[in-house]
Structure 1
Amino acid sequence: MNRFVYTVLIILSLPFALLRILLRDAKNSNWIRKLKNQLGFVPKIPGKVIWLHCVSVGEFNAAKPLIDMIFINFPLHQIVISTTTITGSEAVEKYYKSQVIHCFFPFDVPFIVSSFLKKIKPVACILLETEIWPNLITKLKHKNIPVMLVNARLSKKSYKKYKKFSPKLINMTLNNLSLICSQNESSSKRLISLGANNNIITTGSLKFDSNEPNNSETIQALKNITGDRKIVVFASTRKGEEFQIIKSYLKLKSKFNALLIIVPRHPERFNEVFSMANETGLNVKRRSLGGHCEQDTDILIGDSMGEMMSYLNISDIAFIGGSLTNNGGQNMLEAASLSKPIIFGPSVFNFEEISKRLLDDGSAIQVRNAEELMKTISELLLDDEKRRLIGESAKTTFENNRGATTKIFNAIAPHIKNI
C-alpha cells in the first residue's frame, strides 16, 4: 500500500468516523468542538508551539512527567496537547487547566492536516506510543518540523499487520521521523525491521515514571462505603470480561467474603455492565449513586471518572483488564506502584515487556481463564503473607525500571533547541 491508496481509504472511512462521533460522543458537550478540530478547524495559536499528542487518558498520564520537564526547560514556548478521546481532553484540562491549550487530533487526510498545521504552527511535534500517521508525519517532514515518536511500542500483532499490508508506507513514514524513543529492545528491533534507521534509541517506558497523586479524600470516601472487607479490583475491564468474571465468581462466592469492584474501561459501558451484573441476582451497587456497601454487597461498579488509583489503593488484589479477552491488556504499573499483588490473563501483547518483567520478578500472576482467575483470587485472599510478598516485589520492579523521562527529554531537547 502506498500513501495515495492509504489516503483514499482514510477519506472513504470518514463518514463512518463521523457517525461514530455522533453515536458515541453526542451526549458530551465537547462533541462539536471535537468534530471541528478533527476536520482541521482549530483557533490560531500564537508563539512557539510544542505540540504533544496523547490518544487518551492512559497516554496522557504516562506523559505528565515529560510534559512537566518540557514546561520547566522551555518556559517561553506554548504547549499544545491533543487527544483523540473526550475523556483524554477532560483529563488534560483538569490537570493543566489554562497552562496548556488542548485540541482534538485531526483526521489523517492531507488537506485536513494542512489546515490544522497552518493554525497551530508547531516548532516541534511529539507523538506518544503507537501514533504513526503517514500524512501528518510527511507534512511535518516537508515543513522541516521535527516530529518525534516517544514511548514507542510495537507488539508482535501490530508488527505482523504492518509487515503484511503496508511495508513500503510504514518504511517511508518511520524514516520521516526525526527521532524514535522506544520502550524496549523488542519494539526497537521490530521498528528497525520495518525500516527505522539510526533515528531510534531504547529509553524504557514512561509508565514507570508516572506517579499519580493519591487523593486522600476519595480514598477515605471509598473506605467509608466499602467497609473492612477484603477488596478485589478488576481494573479497566473490556466487553466480554465482566460476564466471565461474574459467572466464575458465582461458582466460588461461598468460599470468600470479598467485595468485587469492577471498573469498566469505557464510560459508555457503565450502564451495560451494571445491568448485566444486576440480572444475575447478585447484590450490586454503583459508585455514581453513592455505592454504600453492606456486608452482603457482592459487587461495586466503579462508574466514576478519575478514581482508578483510589480504587487500586484500597484493594487487596488487582486484576488487570483487557487480558481475558483478546485486547492485549492494560497498564499494570499503577497497581505495581501501590505494592498490590497483580493478576492478568493470557492476552498482554500490548504490554509484553512489562508483563514479562513482572512475571520474572515474581511480581504478578498470569492465569489462563476466568475460572483460574477466581481460584487464584480465592487462594490469595486466604494467604496474607503471599499477597504482601507479591505486592512488595511489584513495587520493587516498578522502582527498578524508572528513569525513562530524563532519557527521553535529553533525546528530544536538541531537536527543539536547534529551531
Structure 2
Amino acid sequence: MNRFIYTILMYLSLPFAVLRILIKDSKNKSWKQKLKNQLGYVNNLQGKVIWIHCVSVGEFNAAKPLIDQLLKKYPSHKLVITTTTITGADATKSHYQNRVIHYFFPFDLPFIVGSFINKINPITCILLETEIWPNLINSLNKKAIPVVLINARLSEQSFDKYQRFSSKLVEKTINQFTFIGSQNNPSRERFLSLGASPDKVIMVGNLKFDSHEKINSALDEEIRLIVGKRDIIVFASTRNGEENQIIQSYNNLKEKFDALLFIIPRHPERFDEVFNMVSKTGLKVARRSENLQCSNMDVLIGDSMGEMMAYYKFCHIAFIGGSLSNTGGQNMLEAASASKPIIFGPSIHNFEEVAKSLLKRNAAIQVGNSDELMQTISELLLDKKRQLILGKNAKSTYEKNQGSINKVIELITPVIES
C-alpha cells in the first residue's frame, strides 16, 4: 500500500469515524469540540508551540514527566496536548488546567492535518508509542517541522500487521521521523526490520517508569473510610468479558476468602454495564461514586476517574486487566510503583517487556485463566510474607528502570532549539 491508496481509504472511512463520534461520544459534553478539532477546526496560535500527542490516559500519564520538564525548560513556549479520547482530554485538563492547550487529534487526511498544522504552527511535534500517521508526518516534513516518536513500542502483532499490509508506506513514514526513541530492544529491532534507518532508532527506555502521581491526602482518607480494614483486590482496567469471568470464578471460591473485589473497567461507558452485570449475580455491589461504606459489600465498581493510584495504595493484590481477554494487557507499572503483588493473565503483548522484567525478578505472577487467578489470589491472601516479597520486588523493578526522561530531554532539546 502507498500513501495515495491509504489516503483514499481514510477518505472512505471518514463518514464512519464521524458517525462513531455521534453515537459513542454524543452523551459527553465534549463531543462537539471533539468533532470540530478532529476535522481541523482549532484556534490560530501565536508564538513558539510544542505539540505533544497522547492517544488516551495511559499515554498522557507516560508523557507527564516530559510535559513537566518542557513547561519548566521553555516557560515562554505554548504546549499543545492532543488526545484522541475524551478520557484523555479530561485527564489533561484536570492535571494541567490552563498551563497547556488541549485539542483533540485531527483525522489523518491531508486537508485536515494541513489546516490543523497551519493554525497551531508548531516548531516541533512529539508523538508517543505507536502513533504512526502517514499524512500528518508527511505534512510536517513538507513544512520542515521536525517530528519525533518517543516511548516508541512495536508489538509483534503490530509488526506483523505492518509487514503484511503496508510495509512500504510504513518504511517511508518512519524514516521521516527526526528520531524514534524506543522503549525496549525488541521494539527497536522491529522498527529496524520495517526499514527504519539505524541512526534514527535510539533505545531510551520507558517513560512510564519516570511517571509519579502526586499524593492526594483527602482522596486517600476518603477511600480508606469506604473500604475499611478488609482485604482488597483491585482488578484494574478490565475489558469486556473479563468481569464476567472474574465474578464466576469468585463465586466458585467465595467461601475461601472474605475480600472486597474492586473492579475498575477500562472504559467509562461500561461502568453501568458492569454494575448491572454484577448486580444480577446476587452479589452485594456498590459504586465508588456513591461513597458508601463497603464493610458488607462483595464488589465495588470504580466509576470515578483519576483515582487508580489511591486504589492501588489500599489494595493487597492487583490484577491487571486486558490480560484475560485477547487485548494485550494494560500498564502494570502503577501497581509496581505502589509496591503491590501483581497478577496478570496470558495476553500481555502490549506490555511484553515490562511483564517479562517483573516475572524475571519475582515481582509478578502470570495465570492462564480466571479460575487460576482466583485460586492464586486465595493463596496469596493467606501468605502475607509472599505478598511483601512480590510487592518489594515490584517496587525495586520500577525504580531500577527509571531514567528514560533524561535521555528523552537530551535528544529532544536540540530538535526544539534548532
Please give the range of the TM-score, normalised by the shorter of the 2 chains. over 0.9
Where 2:234 maps in the other structure, the secondary structure is strand
In the TM superposition, what is the alpha-carbon distance from 1:214 to its structure 2 partner? 2.5
Q: What are the Cα deviations for residues 138-184 of structure 1, in whole angstroms up to 9, with x where unaligned? A: 11011110000000000000000000000000000001111100000
Alignment of 1:355 onto 2:366 = no
In the TM superposition, what is the alpha-carbon distance from 1:14 to its structure 2 partner? 1.1
The answer to whether the 8 A contact 1:291-1:300 is kept is no
Where 1:373 maps in the other structure, the secondary structure is helix
| Counterpart amino acid of residue 147 in structure 2 | V
In the TM superposition, what is the alpha-carbon distance from 1:90 to its structure 2 partner? 1.0
In the TM superposition, what is the alpha-carbon distance from 1:332 to its structure 2 partner? 0.2
In structure 1, what is the equivalent of residue 73 of structure 2? 73
Task: Map residues 263-274 of structure 1 onto 2, 5 A cutoff.
Answer: 263-274=264-275
In structure 2, what is the equivalent of residue 53 of structure 1? 53
| Counterpart amino acid of residue 267 in structure 1 | P
Mapped to 1, the partners of 2:317 and 2:220 lie a distance apart of 16
In the TM superposition, what is the alpha-carbon distance from 1:76 to its structure 2 partner? 2.0
Where 1:243 maps in the other structure, the secondary structure is helix
In the TM superposition, what is the alpha-carbon distance from 1:96 to its structure 2 partner? 1.0
Task: Map residues 333-344 of structure 1 onto 2, 5 A cutoff.
Answer: 333-344=333-344
Q: What are the Cα deviations for residues 332-374 of structure 1, in whole angstroms up to 9, with x where unaligned? A: 0000001000000000000000000000000000000000000
Mapped to 2, the partners of 1:217 and 1:178 lie a distance apart of 44
Where 1:61 maps in the other structure, the secondary structure is helix
Alignment of 1:23 onto 2:23 = yes
Runs of 4+ aligned structure 1 residues displaced above 6 Å come to none
Alignment of 1:216 onto 2:217 = yes
Mapped to 2, the partners of 1:363 and 1:174 lie a distance apart of 35
Mapped to 2, the partners of 1:124 and 1:178 lie a distance apart of 10
TM-score, normalised with respect to structure 1 = 0.99
TM-score, normalised with respect to structure 2 = 0.99
Q: What are the Cα deviations for residues 72-105 of structure 1, in whole angstroms up to 9, with x where unaligned? A: 2222211111000111111111111111111010
In structure 1, what is the equivalent of residue 38 of structure 2? 38
In the TM superposition, what is the alpha-carbon distance from 1:294 to its structure 2 partner? 2.6
In the TM superposition, what is the alpha-carbon distance from 1:291 to its structure 2 partner? 3.0
Mapped to 2, the partners of 1:218 and 1:72 lie a distance apart of 27
Q: What are the Cα deviations for residues 357-415 of structure 1, in whole angstroms up to 9, with x where unaligned? A: 00000000000000000000000000001000000000000000000011011011111
In structure 2, what is the equivalent of residue 256 of structure 1? 257
The answer to whether the 8 A contact 1:179-1:412 is kept is no
Mapped to 2, the partners of 1:225 and 1:75 lie a distance apart of 41
Identity %: 60
In structure 1, what is the equivalent of residue 389 of structure 2? 389
Mapped to 1, the partners of 2:337 and 2:193 lie a distance apart of 33
Deviates more, 1:364-373 or 1:72-81: 72-81
Mapped to 1, the partners of 2:292 and 2:106 lie a distance apart of 39
In the TM superposition, what is the alpha-carbon distance from 1:325 to its structure 2 partner? 0.3
The answer to whether the 8 A contact 1:235-1:265 is kept is yes
Q: What are the Cα deviations for residues 192-248 of structure 1, in whole angstroms up to 9, with x where unaligned? A: 110110211000000000111222211211111111110000000000100000000
The answer to whether the 8 A contact 2:230-2:295 is kept is no
Unmatched 5+ stretches in structure 2 = none
Unmatched 5+ stretches in structure 1 = none
In the TM superposition, what is the alpha-carbon distance from 1:288 to its structure 2 partner? 1.4
Q: What are the Cα deviations for residues 255-309 of structure 1, in whole angstroms up to 9, with x where unaligned? A: 00000000000000000000000000001111112232133x1000011111111
In the TM superposition, what is the alpha-carbon distance from 1:30 to its structure 2 partner? 1.0
